[in-house]
Amino acid sequence: MGMTMTQKILAFHAGLPSVTAGQLIEAELDLALANDITAPVAINEVEKVGGCVKCRDKVALVMDHFTPNKDIKAACQVKKTREFAKAQQVTHFYDVGKMGIEHALLPEQGLVGAGDCIIGADSHTCTYGALGAFSTGVGSTDLAAAMMTNKAWFKVPAALKFVLKGALPKYVTGKDLILHIIGMIGVDGALYKSMEFTGEGVASLSMDDRFTVCNMAIEAGAKNGIFPVDDKTLAYMEGRFQRTPKIYEADADAEYEKTYEIDLSALKPTVAFPHLPENTKTEWDTLPIQQVVIGSCTNGRISDLRQAAEILRGKKVAENVRCIVIPATQEIYLQAIEEGLVSDMVKAGAVVSTPTCGPCLGGHMGILADGERCVSTTNRNFVGRMGHITSEIYLASPYVAAASAVLGRLATPEEVS
């Protein structure tokens, strides 16, 4: 029996000729990631056993969730991580001034790429599957062991195949695609499985679309999401990726538990209503809102900011709405300034923040009060995720979020274009 892309990557890193779904393996890692929330927990475990970082080039510590520090506790967490990184001579440590939201920063800095095996103490580590890598989230104790051994154990996942056809219409993005999929299969529809995307429609998706899709694979319960490596992938990695890419293709006789066919041209702007990403709709009644967030590891890249600015340019954010825009990295922030996107958004009445995860997890930079509604380009809309337990989160693309900010209600981009 043949292997999927994910299975081939895991077999290589485990030093095995082949692997099968359900098999337990130990694999060498190309990178282990943690942030300012999860790193201190892992560091405590390393220190408990008197351990040390085995390979300083294969650990990345990114200060992004509560940074710039929102309170004393956050400051102490970052201080602990900063001191550990210095003592262990960790090569890839990103603090204020050069940090960014981790899952946008690592691809941008060329730390992850095709054929890699990556773990991170953050559930959205699955983002890097857009580059043809196996990447998945783990707990902080697993991360601690990985820092000390450069290895991790896995149960090889079974796979689901998503055959993409056609191309996305105007105002429809990778966010709408993954919300459509989660709405179709449910938040447990890919539980501990690999979501493998293929078909001629892949070529029409930008790299940012693919990052968004893989980022939210975990919201369907998946172990990982992964795209094939094509010319767009290679162009993105060229001059950026710091190692030699390893390109894997699924065998013709690879086994999939189920295959789904999706016509991209038939998709519409899609919104996930409270309180699960599977609660998706393409039509809705008038729904007033109080806040819009455009950013996060899901939709804080330059194309996302361009989409938001396209809608906001020459218009005004509704008086009763707070519109918060968060570029995912310093490089993206600077590019948005140079392209005039920040000017467009500020003139419209939005505020622009330094890179941070901030409001996505109810950390800072946009906490919701009781009963408030927020249209957000983030990835989770659980009860209390962004603030008060009676607040509501509506997950959407930057186009929909920006249109909603202008009209003061949940809206489609066509309504303001």
How does pLDDT run across 225-268, given as a tens digit for each residue?
A: 999 999 999 999 999 998 899 999 999 999 999 999 999 999 99
**Strands across the sheet with 31-35, in order?**
92-94, 59-62, 31-35, 117-120, 134-137
Per-residue pLDDT, 380: 93
- C-alpha distance across the termini of the chain, in Å: 51
**3-class state of residue 272 by DSSP:** strand
Q: 50: Cβ–Cβ under 8 A, 6 or more apart, which residues? A: none
pLDDT of residue 417: 80
CB of 29 closer than 8 Å to CB of 119: yes
Q: Residues 143, 121: contact at Cβ < 8 Å?
A: yes
Q: Which of 249, 260, 259 is nearest to 7 (CA)?
A: 249
Is 260 or 357 the better-scoring residue by pLDDT? 260
How many whole angstroms separate alpha carbon 343 and alpha carbon 324?
14
CA atoms within 13 A on the CB side of 130: 29
Q: Other CB atoms closer than 10 Å to residue 269's CB: what's the count?
A: 22
CA distance 2 to 177: 28
pLDDT at position 242: 80
| pLDDT at 287 exceeding the cut of 80 | yes
Indicate if the pLDDT at residue 99 is higher than 90: no
pTM of structure: 0.95
Q: What percent of the chain has pLDDT over 70?
A: 100
Q: What is the pLDDT of residues 307-316, one digit of tens each?
A: 999 999 999 9
Give 372-385 pLDDT, tens digit per residue: 999 999 999 999 99
E strand or H helix that includes residue 263: strand 258-263
Token pair belonging to 153: 């154990």
Structure tokens at 376: 């957000």
**Distance, CA of 91 to CA of 57 (rounded, Å):** 5
pLDDT value at residue 112: 97
For tokens 């819009």, the residue is 292
Question: Which residues have C-beta within 8 Å of that of residue 320, sequence separation ≥ 6?
Answer: 288, 290, 408
Rounded to the nearest integer, the mean pLDDT of the chain is 96
User: What domains can you pick out in the chain, each with its CATH number?
Assistant: 5-263 (3.30.499.10), 271-415 (3.30.499.10)
* Cα–Cα nearest to 198, from 160, 156, 170: 160
Model confidence at 330, in pLDDT bands (50, 70, 90)? very high
- 3-state secondary structure at position 155: strand
